[in-house]
Structure 1
């Protein structure tokens, strides 16, 4: 009887261990992706043609080359980083870039259709931009990262791979956004251009700009470029005096014979602080400066 109890206890412990493994470890992992089968096409109704804001992207069967770009000083706006990289490509055309036109995301990712003649070495370059009041020098470091295969993306879209390679999707997104980022004003994932043929004032020196939002996404059997209309508010380009009149609701500047009150100055300072202005009293040398404050003293008393 003692032997039977020992066997039953052993069988009981074995059953508990099996249940524990099934409960906490789960079924064996599998890399096979089995999507649900698509139902048959519809047969009722009248076929119609629809216009959609999705456009098919033709993907070449090539490799693209991914590089890390480190720009110092850091924490600069994407617009400044793009100017730095664009100047770098033009300045070092003969030594490094040749006919290559890189795609750049404004931060650290750069892609080229052909490898740069630097191998996997790190290259340090200096780039100078005309700055706000004085020229600015940036140190740019280029480092090889990886080779991105667009052929793998095509195979994934055809259903031959279980997952869509994210590095290929990212490369396509950066490449398709590079040229609009250089031609238009990017805000988030949208692009805007100054109004032409329309004017929608919002008051306070602001106006509406229309643009477009774009993104590259994998779809059934191919990649699609999605484009939507966007709108946002911008400060209108105008003389600072006119901007002040709009902000302070001054109808005629010639009738403003008294200096600004403290409340008017504070209100105007809140609106203009951080904006860029271009000086016009230096002839052909038009410098741009960023406003940090509005002084209490008039211009006639400044030295």
Structure 2
């Protein structure tokens, strides 16, 4: 972040610190130093944190999270952010996210105690990247001059993913997450999440999820998208036909529900990371880094790809450790008639818009965000899953009732719905 500033920074005026680490480990002097260093880095990044926190207390245990957060919301009007210091891996994290995201709609940023005791500019910059978007800011945008022609008309980008419970756990549901861009850059995203039957591979409620996000896009931009680009993660090649058949139809139905005859062009792309293909540079001058990886942006669409279908490999990130693994993209449907070069360029550019870092990542930002949203929903369900897993349900409680309870548990607060709470 040195020498870089956010495209749109948020002024943080009312904020608090809650320290769940023991006072003998994180001393008051450590908190003062952390606050001063965080303010210095955030000011340089264009996200000024004004003054001292309105509240700074030590706390112990999961049970104190909700009462403390409710007190903060009631006592400090317009509180924007709670910085939570944790001693390490602890159940407090899940409770902080449950209360902040689903109960009260307060932005929360968790920090490991070791990073408070010993601050580094890199760690503090990473915190600022997350905090700015959680508060509604924009970290970076694609330069309009280099964007492909698909941006000439209103376009919305979707990311879809499903996470499944661990093997051998037959009680917990699968979680489907869909995110969509909410501006023209595209930088800001909104999310919607559903629980569904255990290990179901298709997003069963996709029609209503897409409809919800299209309405939100229109409210934010006052435009109806004429083009839709979908990055679908978590699909194996054997599922392509079923996923495309059901989910493409679901997206079309969502559009028709909004307005008769509304049929934006849809480009549907499956993203795969789990494969055994590796790419190497023949010319030593092209090799990058200690592991002699291929340079970021390397694209292969001949030779090792399918002879008749539209697929390509793209290594969008710079490999820091070990051999880079390119992502494999399968274009399952393309109403927008994009050329291979346009689609590859668009996908590579979307890998640069991920808010958590200032460099390109291995998959497009929408797919990455869908993954984060689904995993965040797991934390929202921690208590529910524990209760149902321990057999504490009343006898006669049906599986449908359990799913409906879980569905309510993963719905985020309206205040969190308008920002990237999952960043």
Name the TM-score class by shorter chain.
under 0.3
Higher relative contact order structure (alpha carbons within 8 Å, sequence separation ≥ 6): 2
TM-score normalized by the length of structure 1: 0.22
Q: Please identify which structure carries the higher strand content.
A: 1
TM-score normalised over the length of structure 2: 0.17
Determine which structure has the larger helix proportion and give its number: 2
Q: Name the larger-Rg structure.
A: 1
